[in-house]
Amino acid sequence: MPPLLGRFLRSPQAGLVLVILLLGTLLTLFAGTHPDRVNGQPVNNFLNSYTLIQTATDASFFAIMAVGATIVIISAGIDLSVGSVYALAGVSMALFLRAHPPGSGAATVFVGLLLCVGIGLLCGAMNGAMVVGLRVHPFIITLGTMWIFRGVAFVASKAESILVPDALTRVAKASLGLAQALYPVPLLAMLVVMAVGSVYLTRTLMGRHVFAIGGNVEASRFSGLHLPRITMGVYLVSGLTAGLAAFLGASFYGSASCVDATGYELYVIASAVVGGASLTGGKGSAVSALLGAVLIVLIRQSIRTLHFDQNYEWIIIGCATIIAVVLDQWSSRMTARRLARAAGA
């Protein structure tokens, strides 16, 4: 076996990649074809550039948030508020730009990005400060802020959908030299966030500290790690990624409203868990979170492409999440037994 292939098969992402390839193959075989509008040649309903980039675009908005949420989960925390942070950041940006248009297109893009990221960081700071200061389980804190942030977005927008300037949409829907109706910007942003998140977790001291407190908080405390600062940091990262996703989503679709990203927290957490992140902390990766998001979107795509009843979508995703957690725990137990036997020998 070639060394590169052997290293891939031993990697934590190998199983996810193989499942994604299998599902993609099944979709390609059973999706059917349609005639091309230009030359009349048959085109596969799934395996074509438009569908693939659209699938990646659908995954990108909550995959970006899944990278931040995975960092929180690795630290043994949880963030249920990411969808509401997305809505509040998008609405705040749209309202500000409508009331105070900067003028030039570049200034509009810069101000919009700054506002979304700033609101995301502020929300993340509030979550982190309450988790650290009140010493209440993050599930309760972020459950509360999930309602608070979306409620603020509802009141501020008066439940209206607010258009964003065309300059933002031109950036989010830039073709970058590809054919018409192909918009790779969200896909590229998703890959950049995944790469930065992976470097943060695997190549920096801060990332190792996140794994340390998630793996054993008491040992981390006795080793001198500043737990409140690390906890604040992971929630800031989660807020940052939610704000960035909000900027891309509002820009791509051309508007923002208080109902944007409703239910995204479930997709985000499911992406992290399906990607192998352990809810008990100490395990996970940015690459696996992205692959988990892609797998969930492919499941949704399968239901639409194969003309299944879309009411089964939640059932299938729920089953996939439970199976992923069961397999993760089974793998952890098997590893622990193998290590115990090796120590005994």
Top-confidence range, 179-188, 225-234, 288-297, 334-343: 225-234
User: Is residue 183 within 8 Å of residue 55, measured between CB atoms?
Assistant: no
Q: Give the pLDDT confidence of 105-131 residue by residue, as tens digits.
A: 889 999 999 999 999 999 999 999 999
Residue listed under structure tokens 């990203």:
261
pLDDT at res. 23: 84
- Is residue 227 within 8 Å of residue 217, measured between CB atoms? yes
Average pLDDT over residues 259-280: 87
pLDDT over 60 at 1, yes or no:
no
Q: Give the confidence band of 39 by pLDDT, cuts at 50, 70, 90.
A: confident
Average pLDDT of the chain to the nearest whole number? 87
Does residue 301 sit in helix, strand or coil? helix
Position 235 scores a pLDDT of: 97
Model pLDDT, residue 345: 64
pLDDT at residue number 5: 61
Does residue 233 register a pLDDT over 60? yes
- Going by pLDDT thresholds of 50, 70 and 90, the confidence category of residue 283 is confident
pLDDT of residue 279: 83
Q: What is the pTM of this model?
A: 0.90
The residue among 11 and 126 whose pLDDT is bigger is: 126
The mean per-residue pLDDT over the stretch 12-40 comes to: 81
Pairing between β-strand 162-163 and β-strand 255-256 as defined by DSSP bridges: antiparallel
**Range from 13-27, 158-172, 187-201, 217-231 carrying the lowest mean pLDDT:** 13-27
Residue carrying structure tokens 């939640």? 314
What is the Cα–Cα distance from 21 to 23, expressed in whole angstroms? 5
User: Any idea how long the chain is?
Assistant: 345
Q: What is the mean pLDDT of residues 54-81?
A: 92
Amino acid at 299: I
> Is the pLDDT confidence value at 191 over 60?
yes
Residue 6: its pLDDT value, please?
63
Share of the chain above pLDDT 70, in %: 93
